Amino acid sequence: MRRTRQTKIVATLGPATSSAAMIEKLFMAGVDVFRLNFSHGERADHKKRFDTIRQLENETGRPIAILLDLQGPKLRIGTFKDGPIELEVGARFRFDLEDKPGDGTRVRLPHPEIFKALEPGTDLLLDDGRLRLTVETCDESHAECTVAVGGELSERKGVNVPGVVLPLSPLTEKDRADLDYGLELGVDWVALSFVQRPEDMAEAAEIVQGRAGLMAKLEKPAAIDKLDEIVDLSDAIMVARGDLGVEMPPEDVPVLQREIVRCARREGKPVVVATQMLDSMIDMPVPTRAEASDVATAVYDGADAVMLSAETAVGDYPVETVTMMNRIIERVQKDPFYRETMNTQRIAPEATTADAISAAARQIGDTIEASAIVAYTTSGSTALRMARERPARPIISLTPREATARKMSLVWGVHSARAPDAHDLDDMMQTAMHQASIDGFAGVDDRIVITAGVPFGTPGKTNLLRIARLQ
- Which residues are known catalytic residues? 35, 76, 217, 275
* CA-to-CA dists, residue 238 to 60, 188, 217, 245, 275, angstroms: 28, 15, 5, 14, 10
- At 381 the three-state DSSP class reads helix
Pairing, β 213-218 against β 123-126: unpaired
d(CA 195, CA 221): 10
Helix, strand, coil content of the chain in percent (nearest 5): 40, 25, 35
Q: Which region holds residue 77: left if phi is over 0, alpha if psi is between -120 and 50, else beta?
A: beta
User: To 10 degrees, the CA torsion angle through 108, 113, 114, 117?
Assistant: 150
Selection from 39, 73, 38, 71 nearest residue 168 by Cα: 73
- At 131 the three-state DSSP class reads strand
Q: Which region holds residue 30: left if phi is over 0, alpha if psi is between -120 and 50, else beta?
A: left
SS (H, E, C) 390-402: CCCCCEEEEECCH
Q: Which region holds residue 448: left if phi is over 0, alpha if psi is between -120 and 50, else beta?
A: beta
Dihedral sign, CA of 191, 194, 195, 201? negative
CA triple 232-174-216, angle to 5 deg: 15
d(CA 127, CA 160): 9
- What b/e string do you get for 251-262 counting C-beta neighbours within 10 Å, with b at 16 or more? eebeebbbebbe
Return the number of other C-beta atoms located less than 10 Å from residue 83's C-beta. 8
- At 387 the three-state DSSP class reads helix
Selection from 332, 346, 450, 340 nearest residue 388 by Cα: 346
- At 123 the three-state DSSP class reads strand
